[in-house]
Every structure is written in structure tokens, then in C-alpha cells.
């Protein structure tokens, strides 16, 4: 067996209708120890945005293009509607396959299936196991009058009737990991059914919340979340048992905000699924990978990231090229995520943006004033600031959270400058320069 490819293996996990307050590390009573651990050892994306409903988010994830540019801004694709992600759009799976990846999908498609050309295995995936529609029974796998669980294109997987989808999907991914030939890097797309309605989960998962949660919908959803978290923990364990773990990038994302009518919660944000309030579009997201520098693991990235950004980010990480796509709306975010503290500052008009470690930010009065220094109020791990220097020349009022559009504009300008940067020139000291070798004086030595 050859050595693992230097290109990262990629596990892209999407949770369905997963709310901001449905994960433990956001203060939820719902127990998510595996997600919490992965996020705390990775980089939490706390200004991560998605679309307010399912198909638009998934279409942007797969194409890198806004739904207004693919015609999918209408809503979700219903089972009987002859629609899909346009067939002339290049998918993320196609681009990764072009770069030599083995590509596998397990879970929910929801990007159209009205003709064979729309199916996952015709859109770049080597294999598919999952369902085509947007929701179904977790145990029977029936949507309305039809069974919806397939292996690749033709085979209806009736033998899984009665088995809970989170268990089935977890085992399928584990098998892909165990059987993978490491001659190729691996891309696994795992869009769970969890935690979309209907509210269904084996009782042992919901029963553990009897004392903590009185609302029956919330209690049932809590069990569904914990069951999904357990599955992610099992997948993580399988990666660690294999030779893949040390070269794997894990991305976790929701597709939209939680649905309050079926137990989801987005506190403290306003609104929920299908709304344009923060509760509908401000998504749970994080990345975990050995590729992230040690000093930045466990940090919070507050720069703006959008679901459409994963397309160029992952294609570039895979060593691929973005040629052949329609104009992308997403941006490569890997430098921002994995080198969160890249030290830079830019001033445009009245606005100044700082990223990375800017140095000690305390205010030091003249010694003769008798005043004490004013220590910087910034918490450890902060890596982004925005100031209006005209109104606030002393840089006391950080506006990075309240002015996200300005942050994105200035980050784009920084990124453009970064593209023109030449390699760093910073050689090690040369012992031949020692003045004792040159008559006791400094001077040219080469």
C-alpha cells in the first residue's frame, strides 16, 4: 500500500435543520460530546452563513454558486417536480474526482432526480447510498406513497426497511473508510437525515432527557441530535483506527436554522428555518484537521464565511483547478480558517481592518501623567477588528460584528494583495558574518 496522498481526505458532514442552540458548545442542554470535542480541537466558524432552507443551501454547497444564479431560489425541490441543480453546473464532487479523489455520498440528495442525468452518480460521485427527496420516515424510508432509499442508481435498498437512518448512514461511511484504497485521496459527503422532521429516534436517546426537557418535541429532537452525535463519534473512531485520520479534513455544517415547530432552537438569534433573520441563516459550522496549525486549533474564527465558499476552498486544497465552472460566488477561505491569525491591516477611507495578532493593544499614557495603562479588553483568541478611524481614532469600538459587509469588502481587498505577495525572505543568521573573522568589524562577508 502506498503512502497516504498529501492531498487531504475530506469528510463533509451536513446536519439537516440543525439550530444554533442545538449543539452543546453553544450552551444547549442537548448533549453533543463528539461535536463539542471536534469543534474545540478545531476552528469554530461563528460567522458562518447558509441559506434559510434546504435545496438552496445544498445547491450552493455543490456548485459554489448562489441560488439566484442557478434558478433554485424558489424553494425546495418537491418529489414530483421535474427540477434539479442545472445539469450544466459543475459539482464539487466532479471537481474532486477530476483531481484524483475517490468520491462517495451517503445521505440526503435533494437536488433533483426526475431523470437519470440528475442523480448523484451522474454528478461526480463514484457511489451513492441514501435518499433523493427532502424528508421521509426514519425507519420505513417511505415518503408519501414511495420508498426512497437507494444504493447507487438502480437498486432500491428495501433490506433496510425498519432500520434507523442515522445508524445505517454511519455504518455505510465506516465501511467506506475501512475499504478505501489509500492510493487515492478520499472525499465523503455525509448529509444526515437528522434532525429534520418527522421527530423519530430510538427511545433510549430521547428518554435520557425526561428530567431535563419537558417539551415533548424538544425532547425528541434532543434524542435525535445525540444519536447523530454518537454516529459522528463512531465515524471519528473509525478514521482514527485507519491510516486516514492524520490527513483528514472534517467540515461540519447545518443547511439552515432550526425549525422551532419541531423542537429546534436558535437562541439567542431571532427567527428560525425559512426566515431571513439570523436564526434562519446563521449556521452552526466548524472545521477540524491536522492541517490547521497547532497554535490556531481551539480558536474561534469570526470572519464571514458562506456555504458557497466550500467549493473553491476544497477544490484548491485538493490541488484542483477552478477552470470549467461558471463564475463562482464563493471564495477560497482556507488561509483565513487555517491561519486565522495572519497579521495584516488595511485602511480604506475611514475604515481600518486588522487581522491576526496585531501586538499589544493597551493604551499607555505618558509616564508624567500619573495615569495607569488601560489594558486591552480583547479576549484571547480574537483575530479580527474593524474600526472607523474618523469617528474612533483611538480604536476603542470594534465594529466587526455590526458591519459584516464592510469586513467582507476589506478582507477581499486583503486577499487581493495577498495574491501578489512574493515568498518571504528571512534566512537564518550566517555564522560567517562574525566580526571576529573580519578584523573585528561588521562588513560584507560573502
Q: Is residue 445 part of a domain?
A: no
Task: Give the domain CATH number at 244.
Answer: 3.40.720.10
DSSP letter for each residue of 116-169: GGGSGGGTT-SEEEEESSS---TTT-EETTEE--EETTTEE-GGGTTS-HHHHH
On whether both 374 and 267 belong to a single domain, the answer is no
Task: Specify the residue for cell string 435543520.
Answer: 17
Task: Please pick, among 26, 54, 69, 282, the residue that the annotation labels catalytic.
Answer: 54
Q: Is residue 125 part of a domain?
A: yes
This model's pTM is above 0.75: yes
> Is 118 known to be catalytic?
no
On whether both 303 and 394 belong to a single domain, the answer is no
Instruction: Tell which of 279, 311, 338 closes a domain.
Output: 338
Instruction: Tell which of 338, 372, 404 closes a domain.
Output: 338
On whether both 223 and 174 belong to a single domain, the answer is yes
Q: Is residue 57 part of a domain?
A: yes
In whole angstroms, what separates CA 379 from the centre of its chain? 24
* Residue range 226-247, pLDDT digits in tens: 999 999 999 999 999 998 999 9
Q: How far apart are alpha carbons 145 and 148 in whole angstroms?
A: 10
**Which of 84, 151, 81 is CA-nearest to residue 112?**
84
Q: What mean pLDDT comes out for the span 308-320?
A: 95
On whether both 327 and 361 belong to a single domain, the answer is no
On whether both 367 and 328 belong to a single domain, the answer is no
Instruction: Tell which of 311, 338, 365 closes a domain.
Output: 338
Instruction: State the average pLDDT for the chain.
Output: 92
Q: Is residue 129 part of a domain?
A: yes
Task: Specify the residue for cell string 431571532.
Answer: 270
- Identify the band that residue 4 occupies on the pLDDT scale cut at 50, 70 and 90: very low
Q: How far apart are alpha carbons 75 and 85 in whole angstroms?
A: 12
Query: Helix 310-317 vs helix 54-63: angle between axes, to the nearest 10 degrees?
Result: 30
* Residue range 290-311, pLDDT digits in tens: 878 776 778 888 778 999 999 9
Q: Which three cell numbers stand for residue 216?
A: 415533548
Q: Which three cell numbers stand for residue 150?
A: 437507494
On whether both 299 and 282 belong to a single domain, the answer is yes
On whether both 322 and 359 belong to a single domain, the answer is no
Least confident piece of the model among 337-346, 367-376, 387-396: 337-346
- Which of residues 76 and 422 earns the better pLDDT score? 76
On whether both 21 and 72 belong to a single domain, the answer is yes
On whether both 166 and 249 belong to a single domain, the answer is yes
Q: pLDDT at residue 350 above 80?
A: yes
Provide the pLDDT for residue 279.
95
Task: Specify the residue for cell string 446563521.
Answer: 282
Provide the pLDDT for residue 78.
93
> Is 110 known to be catalytic?
yes
- Identify the band that residue 340 occupies on the pLDDT scale cut at 50, 70 and 90: low
Greatest alpha-carbon span in the chain: 94
On whether both 165 and 190 belong to a single domain, the answer is yes
Task: Please pick, among 110, 180, 196, 306, the residue that the annotation labels catalytic.
Answer: 110
On whether both 266 and 218 belong to a single domain, the answer is yes
- Identify the band that residue 253 occupies on the pLDDT scale cut at 50, 70 and 90: very high
Domain ranges, residue 72: 9-338
Task: Specify the residue for cell string 459527503.
Answer: 189
- Identify the band that residue 440 occupies on the pLDDT scale cut at 50, 70 and 90: confident
Q: Is residue 442 part of a domain?
A: no
Amino acid at each position: 500500500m502506498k503512502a497516504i496522498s498529501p492531498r487531504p481526505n475530506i469528510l463533509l458532514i451536513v446536519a439537516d435543520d440543525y439550530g444554533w442552540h442545538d449543539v452543546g458548545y453553544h450552551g444547549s442542554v442537548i448533549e453533543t460530546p463528539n461535536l463539542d470535542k471536534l469543534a474545540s480541537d478545531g476552528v469554530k466558524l461563528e460567522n458562518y452563513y447558509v441559506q434559510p432552507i434546504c435545496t438552496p443551501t445544498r445547491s450552493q454547497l455543490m456548485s459554489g454558486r448562489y441560488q439566484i444564479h442557478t434558478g433554485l431560489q424558489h424553494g425546495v425541490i418537491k418529489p414530483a417536480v421535474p427540477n434539479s441543480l442545472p445539469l450544466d453546473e459543475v459539482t464539487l464532487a466532479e471537481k474532486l474526482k477530476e483531481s484524483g479523489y475517490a468520491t462517495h455520498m451517503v445521505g440526503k440528495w435533494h437536488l433533483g432526480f426526475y431523470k437519470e442525468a440528475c442523480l448523484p452518480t451522474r454528478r461526480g460521485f463514484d457511489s451513492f447510498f441514501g435518499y433523493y427527496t427532502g424528508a421521509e420516515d426514519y425507519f420505513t424510508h417511505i415518503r408519501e406513497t414511495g420508498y426512497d432509499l437507494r444504493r447507487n442508481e438502480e437498486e432500491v435498498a428495501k433490506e433496510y426497511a425498519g432500520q434507523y437512518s442515522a445508524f445505517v448512514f454511519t455504518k455505510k461511511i465506516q465501511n467506506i473508510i475501512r475499504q478505501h484504497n489509500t492510493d487515492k485521496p478520499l472525499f465523503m459527503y455525509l448529509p444526515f437525515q437528522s434532525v429534520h422532521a418527522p421527530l423519530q429516534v430510538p427511545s433510549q436517546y430521547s428518554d435520557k432527557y425526561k428530567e431535563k426537557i419537558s417539551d415533548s418535541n424538544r425532547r425528541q429532537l434532543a434524542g435525535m441530535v445525540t444519536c447523530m452525535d454518537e454516529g459522528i463519534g463512531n465515524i471519528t473512531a473509525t478514521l482514527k483506527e485507519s491510516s486516514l485520520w492524520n490527513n483528514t479534513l472534517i467540515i461540519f455544517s447545518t443547511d439552515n436554522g432550526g425549525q422551532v415547530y419541531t423542537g429546534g432552537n436558535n437562541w439567542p438569534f431571532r427567527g428560525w428555518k425559512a426566515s431571513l433573520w439570523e436564526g434562519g441563516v446563521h449556521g452552526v459550522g466548524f472545521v477540524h484537521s491536522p492541517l490547521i496549525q497547532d497554535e490556531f486549533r481551539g480558536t474561534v474564527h469570526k470572519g464571514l464565511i458562506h456555504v458557497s465558499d466550500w467549493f473553491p476552498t476544497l477544490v484548491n486544497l485538493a490541488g484542483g483547478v477552478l477552470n470549467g465552472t461558471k463564475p463562482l460566488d464563493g471564495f477560497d477561505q482556507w488561509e483565513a480558517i487555517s491561519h486565522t491569525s495572519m497579521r495584516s491591516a488595511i485602511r480604506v477611507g475611514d475604515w481600518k481592518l486588522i487581522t491576526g495578532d496585531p501586538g499589544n493593544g493597551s493604551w499607555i499614557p505618558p509616564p508624567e501623567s500619573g495615569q495607569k495603562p488601560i489594558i486591552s479588553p480583547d479576549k484571547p483568541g480574537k483575530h479580527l477588528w474593524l474600526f472607523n478611524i474618523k469617528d474612533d481614532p483611538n480604536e476603542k469600538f470594534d465594529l466587526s460584528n455590526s458591519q459584516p459587509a464592510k469586513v467582507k469588502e476589506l478582507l477581499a481587498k486583503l486577499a487581493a494583495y495577498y495574491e501578489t505577495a512574493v515568498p518571504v525572505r528571512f534566512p537564518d543568521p550566517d555564522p560567517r558574518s562574525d566580526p571576529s573573522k573580519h578584523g573585528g568589524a561588521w562588513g560584507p562577508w560573502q
